[in-house]
A and B are shown apart, each in its own frame.
Chain A
Amino acid sequence: MSLKELNALAANRSARRRSGGKADTRDNRAALGFLSPWMLGIVGITLGPLLYSLYLSFTNYNLLQSPSWVGLDNYERMFGDERLHQALKVTFTYVIVSVPLQLAVALGLALALDRGMRGLAFYRSAFYLPSLLGGSVAIAVLWRLVFGASGLFNVILGLIGIESSQSWISNPDTALWTIILLHVWTFGSPMVIFLAGLRQIPRAYYEAAATDGANVWWRFRHITMPLLTPIVFFNVVLAIINSFSNFTQAYVVSGGTGGPADSTLFYTLYLYQEGFGNFRMGYAAAMAWLLVLIIGAVTAINFWLSKRWVHYDD
């Protein structure tokens, strides 16, 4: 059975199912059952604090005393807050550069590993190691050893004839790029998800294609990619969300300052500094909701675009 025929069949079935009113009621009740833990969590744990933080965003709240209502003051303050503008600039640069870069590396290596070479398990584990380290101090130390004034990076530059003695990690012009590289370096998580997705593609499709004499490129283009698109989509959406709210890497490398000279002041790092360092939790809450608006808009666009390229089997 060809891919097209499979799809047509599935589409037919979904259409049939959607038109039946009786099926709808049955689904409703089943959905209630399957979603009951999630709904309990939303109502009991997630929604309360979420709404409360929305309320806090309209208050002056210093954590130690009760919040007092200030209306839109916090939101108005954002227009004149230069550090916030800097944080937005840093964060957008980071998202735009590091998301495609990291996903490309992750997908490339996942495809290479999926071909079943010798030592597969070893490579997979070794590639995943950086993602295991989380916010370990070792990372901060390492990054200094690599991108510091006398670091490995300068040594390598020297080998190819470029003399450099500058410290990449502590120069305001280059510090952000070292964190972008740090992010790319933790490509393990998306790679694992890609690998899991690749493993889910039914072998039958490849076998069918093989008997038809299709070459590697054709198989990648017409089987692997279309069937992997739901996972690619997942990785893109989540990578964007996670990059917008990146905290740990910036915190670890800059010691929580966002320095040098605010050049790595990520949005959530600034939010954290305002909320916990300066006791301005009302403003921090307002910042959080601005971030939700931004990420929400980007994600909505993503979902809208996905109709054009993501292939679902339903």
Chain B
Amino acid sequence: MGKYRPGRRALTGATIVAAASLGLAACSSSGSDDSPSDGASAAGGSDVELRLAWWGSDSRHSATQEVIDAFEEANSGITVVGEFSDWGGYWDKLATATAGGNAPDVIQMDQLYLASYAEREVLSNLADYSALDMSHLGDSVLGMGQVDGAQYAMPISTTSFTLLVNQDVLDELGLTLPDTDAWTWDELGEFASSVTEASSGDVVGIGPMNNEYSLQLWARQHGEALFTDGNVSISEDGLASYFQLALDWAQSGAGAPADQYSEQAALTLDQSDFATGKQAMSFTQSTQIAAYTTASNGANLVPVKIPTEDANATPYAYLKPGMYWSLSSQSKHPEEAAQLIDFLVNDPAATSIIGTERGLPANPDTVEQLSGNLSPEETKAVEYTETLDPILGDAPEIVPNGASDTDPLIQRYLLEVMFEQSSPADAAASFISELQSSIDAA
């Protein structure tokens, strides 16, 4: 740092002039502070300004802004500035701001990044703040917000994994979905092929599983876990079978061929073949039913259970926190920030504004409050999640520090397999060693 001290001095003169002439002197409250991490004391009675950051699209921005207004009204003396970005930009911005000691006070967090941030000591343990009531949440859900036993994140919502079926497409083709209550992967593959055949290729049956959630479930169905004690613990065989399934579907015609799938792999859900009616079934999370319904112009989408090898095996399903609220350790007003988090997840006024915008609330009281006002899509999601009860197991370990790029990694190796550049076994071996070395390096 000392390396550019002379430059800094020279610059200060210039910036003073520029700042004065532009009249745009910075109004960020923490920017000029040199020791951001030791400001754990409460505010001196005067006005407190908090920054609240989240990712999402426009509907989330306006709803959250309304909640902020309600919070400010209920807590005079605290102002909250909301900051929003898209998913990709959000993480770049958060990392840069944290590096500059200028992180927002309250941070919307994702399971992929939680350990990466928590283990690097830039989040605060929420259990230290009495203003935040966590008593409504079950241990399993709360556990997915813990790293090394400390509560670094407050789950906002939970979501479940599902196979979403476009009933309109099936009706048009005159096909009937088999009994999905205890179906096998083979049955799903065959049914998917029948869709492709019946439409003579215009509609394909299914797309591959391609993310961390699905890989967790695949491992659990086979008596394994993706991560154990902070390390990769899925076996090469287990992972190879996951890749093999995608390859089989692409080759048998149950799913789209590699290049057609690859075209949409990096796109948003609006542009996917499933949303545009060119694919009959898709793996997704139950909270995305509403988004897919809009994107597919109001098609009738039905969530069903994913298949298993053996319906009587250990309960493999689990509810995953859709997102969390975290508290930055750089915050100078952690008490007030904890108060804000409490308001966001527990206050009935906030609940009635935000509804299910961030997914089905993890807080059961909140769900109760909302039950009368759910949209048809949300009702579908709630009812589907209830059917999972018998197969619901304990939550798995969260994604460890260093593995936040697991999703792109799965996607990359999946495509290598589908394009037959590597065999499933080779891809599995490289995947495990690359992910593990990424964890070791963190």
Contact = CB atoms under 8 A, between A and B. Distances in A.
B405 A277 contact: yes
B404 interface: yes
Chain A interface size, as a band, is 35 or more
B442 A149 contact: no
Interface stretch (B54-62, B260-268, B359-367): B260-268
Given A44-B10, A259-B262, A261-B412, A280 B441 contact: yes
A265 B14 CA distance: 40
Contact of A52 (B3, B11, B260): B3
Interface stretch (A58-66, A103-111, A191-199, A303-311): A58-66
Interface stretch (A15-23, A112-120, A162-170, A228-236): A162-170
B408 A257 contact: yes
Contacts of A144: 263
B36 to A, nearest CB: 13
Contact of B8 (A48, A170, A273): A48
Interface in B295-336: none
A149 B92 CA distance: 33
A215 to B, nearest CB: 51
Interface in A259-314: 259-262, 273, 276-281
Contact of A44 (B11, B116, B121, B411): B11
B6 interface: yes
Contact of A276 (B11, B95, B258, B442): B95
B88 A259 contact: no
A166 B438 contact: no
Interface stretch (B128-136, B182-190, B413-421): B413-421
Chain B interface size, as a band, is 35 or more
B102 to A, nearest CB: 13
Interface string A152-179: 0000000000000011011110000000
A31 interface: no
A47 B4 contact: yes
16 contacts: A40-B10, A43-B6, A44-B11, A63-B98, A141-B271, A166-B259, A171-B419, A254-B266, A255-B267, A259-B262, A259-B412, A260-B262, A261-B419, A277-B405, A278-B402, A279-B116
Interface of B: 1, 3-4, 6-8, 10-11, 14, 88, 91-92, 95-96, 98-99, 116-117, 120-122, 258-263, 265-267, 271, 402, 404-405, 408, 411-412, 415-416, 419, 421, 438, 441-442
